[in-house]
Amino acid sequence: MKFEIKNLKIAEFASEETTCYQATIYVDGVRSILASNDGHGGPDNFYAYSPHGRPANNKEVTSFETAMAAVAEHCKTLPPYKLDDDFSMPWDLQLLIADQMNQVEGRKHLMRSMKSKVVYIEDDQIWASGFKGIRSIDDRCIKIVADKHPDAVVLNNLPIDEAFDLYREYAA
C-alpha cells in the first residue's frame, strides 16, 4: 500500500491543544480521505474526499471505506511506535499523519536553520554555528566550521533528504 499525505496545511495560529491542520490522503495513488483537526484538543476527523465541498457520492464513500480499511491493515504491519523504552503503541491513521506533520515541520526547521547557520553533528549531538554579520551561509563559512571540527558531519554539505535523515536520527 502506498500512503501519501498531500496538501498539508498547518494553522499554527489556530492550534491550541492539538495541531490544527487539513490534509488530503492518497491511498495507492487515489485521493480518498480528507483529514483535519480543529486544534481544540479533539481527535482527528476523517471524511470521504469530495471535490468542491459537496456531499460525497456512493463511489467516493466506497473509496473512503476501502482506503480506511487499507490504512488499518497497513498499520498492523508496522512495528509499534516507541514513545520511550517503556511505552509503545500501535500505529493508526492519526499517528501516521502526526508523524508526517513532524517530518514536514522538522524539514522546514532544518532548512531555515541551514540558511543562517552551519549545522553539523559532532559527538552524537547537533550543533549550529552562526557568524556575526553574516545572514546567509556560504562555502567559506562551511569551510571554517569543517576545519575547526574535522570529525563533524556538516549537514549543509549534504543533500536535504540525507541531511534531514541524520538530523532526525540525532535529534531524537
Residue 53 has pLDDT above 80, yes or no: no
Q: What is the pLDDT of residue 38?
A: 92
Q: At 50, is the pLDDT very low, low, confident or very high (cuts 50, 70, 90)?
A: confident
Q: What is the pLDDT of residue 55?
A: 74
> Average pLDDT in the 119-147 region?
91
Instruction: Spell out the domain ranges in the chain.
Output: 3-99, 117-171
Q: At 20, is the pLDDT very low, low, confident or very high (cuts 50, 70, 90)?
A: very high
> Average pLDDT in the 139-163 region?
93
Residue 82 has pLDDT above 80, yes or no: yes
Residue 31 has pLDDT above 80, yes or no: yes
Q: Are 166 and 107 in contact (CB under 8 A)?
A: no
DSSP code for 91? -
Q: Which three cell numbers stand for residue 111?
A: 532548512
Q: At 148, is the pLDDT very low, low, confident or very high (cuts 50, 70, 90)?
A: very high
Residue 127: alpha-carbon gap to chain centroid: 21
Across all residues in the chain, what is the average pLDDT? 89
Reduced to 3 states, what is the DSSP secondary structure of residue 101?
helix
Percent of the chain past pLDDT 70, that is, above it, reads: 98
Q: What is the pLDDT of residue 4?
A: 86
Residue 115 has pLDDT above 90, yes or no: yes
Q: What is the pLDDT of residue 133?
A: 87
> Average pLDDT in the 1-5 region?
83
Reduced to 3 states, what is the DSSP secondary structure of residue 32?
strand
Q: Which three cell numbers stand for residue 110?
A: 532544518
